Amino acid sequence: MVMAAFHHHLTTGDTWLARHGLELDGRPIAYFCAEFGLHNSVPIYSGGLGVLAGDHLKSASDMGVPIVGVGLFYTNGYFDQKVNLDGWQTDSDEVFDLAGTPIQPLAGPSGEEWITVVETSGRPVHVRAWKMMVGRVPVYLLDTNLEVNAAEDRALMNKLYAGGPQLRIRQEWILGVGGVRVLRAVGIDPAVWHANEGHAAFMFVERLREHVEGGASFEGAVNAVRARSVFTTHTPVPAGHDFFALDELERVSGPVWTSLGIDRSRFFALGTMPGDAQNFHMTVCALRLAARVNGVSRPHGQVSRHLWRDLWPDRPWEAVPIGHVTNGVHLPTWMAGAIQGLLAEHLGPNWTEHIDDSAMWDRVLSLDHAKLWQAHLWLKRILRDFIREDARHRFAGQLKEAAAVVGAGALFDPDVLTIGFARRFATYKRANLIFSDIDRLRRLCTNPDRPVQVIFAGKAHPADTPGKEVLQSVYRYTRDPSFEGRIAFVEDYDMHIAHLLVQGVDAWLNLPRVPLEASGTSGMKAALNGVPQLSTLDGWWQEGYDGLGGWAIPTGADGTSSDAQDAESCYRLLEEQMVPLYYTRDGRDIPLGWVERMRHALRLGGRRFTAQRMLADYVREYYLPASRADLAGDVPPTD
């Protein structure tokens, strides 16, 4: 029965795309990304970018948007996190077990394993592909771990984002060049090519080569590639963009310019930028070879136009042709079953077909307080049970100190206002901001009548020592007895833990230093579960904050604020608004004012921050015009 319904879903012509009369000329969109967060069992993602890419494909499948994913297959996935008793993160790898995943090797025309060859570092590297279906969307994952390859090449895809630039550039070369070739091998001729972040920009170069080898001039090839290309940038700071020394690129690419009919310097000019002629910038290359470019939230579009203004010296920066498509999250993945059930009851059984109807989302404002609160408490208990079990397992047999178990959250109390903070431990995300006044935080946490508990999770990049230091400082407070077990750390943040947290905490905390968060998506996941967020006005929150579905840490008139100011605002919002609201109960012990915020969070998330809305924007504003190879005017900024 379930399978029959699923099959119907995969083959039916009644899709969002068909219902809206949108035609993509029968050819798919190729979506390239260095990581995909599709499911916990396939650990080829590190964080937000990968999970977003996974949500993109899942929504495309739901909506009948023809798309194929292209990525890399990392044998050891991303690292597993262990935090020692001293709070220092150690990284370990487990080779992941293919048997437990829906991944199949890609076969060639006569059934043998499909293999292509990519020239790199002066020798041929054999590349094979694995195929995985995400609903009706195929994803091709490239892999060089083949016996014919030199040991160094076999190990290329061992790990995601590990190793220095020498390894990364080779991974990215394989992704771009090998990715185009695998699509050709399976007979796919995409109408649109989408590079999700600069890691995939060599895909544009490989397509230049195809056009030139097919007889086009270099200029003709550039125009042809640009016309059908979409590029999404995710990083608001210059240092976050990949770049490689020119001689490094030359070592990897070889004299690729000869097959492009140009000389060396003209090839490098694709990726150099004013003020830096020594490095090849992946984002710059993508900006030059994709006619349609977007940032991932309204403020990030603006930041990106400013960041890349030097590439368009003839324009005022406001007219730099970079628009935005605000990120969104895949509702069926992130909204808890209990909340979905509540909505089905309240909005009618077919509510999922009307996710793009904002009037429907207005109706969640009349959700029954008691029912929403009950559903939330149920999810909170699931989180509690997980955390307690996890603490028990982690310290079974090595129980050195009771404080360690406390720090892992064994004292989690479902009656206490619970705040979740889970994300990569990059310093700009400021996980330690709420510790800037220890006494004040301690008073909040240990108030006997109205206590607060905070649960942290997140990995620091293995090479990010400052990030690991922030993690360590946070971790030490989990074991400080004066906090009475009210600060906890959950190890090894991944999609599974993300689910439990965004569904089970009372409020979501997000403290990026403005304007360094391009979008952020975990707060959207929380909102879809009726979990309001407290955040600086950055990324999606700057765009979405409506004064009702959460709380905002204000910025000064110039759009910035200091750490001290932000910490002060954060404490005050907690002390003066959130804690009183949470503990003000009616005769049934329901915090009506708090549940009001929950209803607004749910409405906000549903109306504006689902991946379905995101994909609809991509289809209408980017994919459809690109599929017509329409170069008439580049995308204007959409403000």
Ligand X SMILES: *Cc1c(COP(=O)(O)O)cnc(C)c1O
- Cβ–Cβ under 8 Å, residues 138 and 106: no
Q: Please give the distance of CA 164 from its chain centroid, rounded to a whole number.
A: 22
Question: Which residue type sits at 364?
Answer: V
The nearest distance, CB 131 to ligand X, in angstroms, is: 24
- CB of 232 or CB of 522, closer to ligand X: 522
**AA letter at 248:** E
Residues 404-423 that bind ligand X (CB under 6 A): 423
Residues 598 and 530: beta-carbon distance below 8 Å? yes
387 CB contacts (<8 Å, ≥6 apart)? 408, 409, 410, 412, 455, 488, 490
Distance CA 258, CA 185 (A): 24
Q: How many helices (H) and strands (E) does the chain have?
A: 28, 20
We find the least distance from the C-beta atom of residue 414 to ligand X, in angstroms, to be 23
Binder among 180, 200, 454, 498 for ligand X (CB under 6 A): 498
By CB under 6 A, residue 521 contacts ligand X: yes
Residue 139 CB, nearest approach to ligand X (Å)? 18
* Separation of alpha carbons 7 and 17, rounded Å: 18
Q: Does 47 bind ligand X (CB under 6 A)?
A: yes
Site string for ligand X, 123-162 (x = CB under 6 A): ----------------------------------------
Q: Which residues, in sequence order, are CB contacts of 116 under 8 Å at separation 6+?
A: 126, 127, 178, 181, 182, 185
- Contact, 369 vs 590, CB < 8 A? yes
Strand partners, 230: 194, 292
- Pick the piece of the chain touching ligand X (CB under 6 A) from 46-54, 312-320, 353-361, 548-556: 46-54
Distances (CA, A) of 39 to 53, 100, 134, 220, 421: 12, 11, 10, 41, 21
Stretch that binds ligand X, among 47-55, 175-183, 241-249, 590-598 (CB under 6 A): 47-55
CB of 237 to ligand X, least distance (A): 15
Binding segment for ligand X (CB under 6 A), chosen from 45-53, 128-136, 255-263, 378-386, is 45-53
CB nearer to ligand X: pick between 127 and 570: 570
Name the minimum Å distance from CB 609 to ligand X: 12
Tell me if 491 contacts ligand X by CB under 6 A.
Answer: no
533 belongs to the binding site for ligand X (CB under 6 A)? no
**Considering the rule CB under 6 A, would residue 494 count as an interface residue with ligand X?**
yes
Give the type of residue at 12: T
Interface residue with ligand X, options 43, 48, 271, 591 (CB under 6 A): 48
515 touching ligand X, by CB under 6 A: no
Interior/surface letters 545-557, b for 16+ CB within 10 angstroms, e for the rest: beeebbbbbebee
Query: For 174, which DSSP code?
Result: I
* Residue 465-484 contact track with ligand X, rule CB under 6 A, x = bound: --------------------
Instruction: Give the integer Cα–Cα distance in Å for 68 and 284.
Output: 25
CB of 493 to ligand X, least distance (A): 6
Nearer to ligand X, 125 or 495 (CB): 495
Listed ranges 313-321, 335-343, 472-480, 518-526: which one lies at the site for ligand X (CB under 6 A): 518-526
Closest distance to ligand X from the beta carbon of 119 (Å): 35
What's the alpha-carbon Rg for the chain, to the nearest Å? 25
Whole-number minimum distance, CB 497 to ligand X, in Å? 7
Query: In this chain, which of 44, 51, 331, 417 binds ligand X, going by CB under 6 A?
Result: 51
Q: Which residue number, 50 or 198, has a Cβ lying nearer to ligand X?
A: 50
- Is residue 495 involved in binding ligand X (CB under 6 A)? yes
Instruction: Give dist(CA 199, CA 309) in Å, integer.
Output: 21
- Closer CB to ligand X, 183 or 498, in the complex: 498
Question: Rule CB under 6 A: is residue 522 a binding residue for ligand X?
Answer: yes
Residue 403 CB, nearest approach to ligand X (Å): 27
Alpha-helix residue ranges (DSSP H) falling in 396-494: 402-407, 438-446, 465-478
Pairwise CA distance, residues 267 & 257, whole Å: 6
Distances from the Cα of 376 to the Cαs of 3, 388, 593, 635, in angstroms?
Answer: 30, 18, 15, 42
Q: Which of 520, 530, 625, 637 binds ligand X (CB under 6 A)?
A: 520
Phi and psi angles of residue 186, each rounded to the nearest 5 degrees, phi first: -95, 10
Supply 22's token pair: 């949108």
Residue 201 in contact with ligand X, rule: CB under 6 A: no
Dihedral sign of CA atoms 34, 37, 40, 46 in order: positive
Tokens of 283: 């984002």
Could you tell me which stretch among 94-102, 288-296, 337-345, 521-529 binds ligand X (CB under 6 A)?
Answer: 521-529
**Cβ of 367: how many Cβ atoms within 10 Å?**
23
CB of 537 to ligand X, least distance (A): 15
Torsion of CA 88, 94, 96, 99, to 10 degrees: -130
Instruction: With contacts defined by CB under 6 A, name the span among 43-51, 143-151, 433-441, 560-568 that binds ligand X.
Output: 43-51
The stretch among 180-188, 487-495, 529-537, 562-570 that binds ligand X (CB under 6 A) is 487-495
The count of chain residues that interact with ligand X, using the rule CB under 6 A, is: 13
Q: Which positions from 423 through 442 interact with ligand X, judged by CB under 6 A?
A: 423
- Site residues for ligand X per CB under 6 A: 47-48, 51, 423, 493-495, 498, 520-523, 525
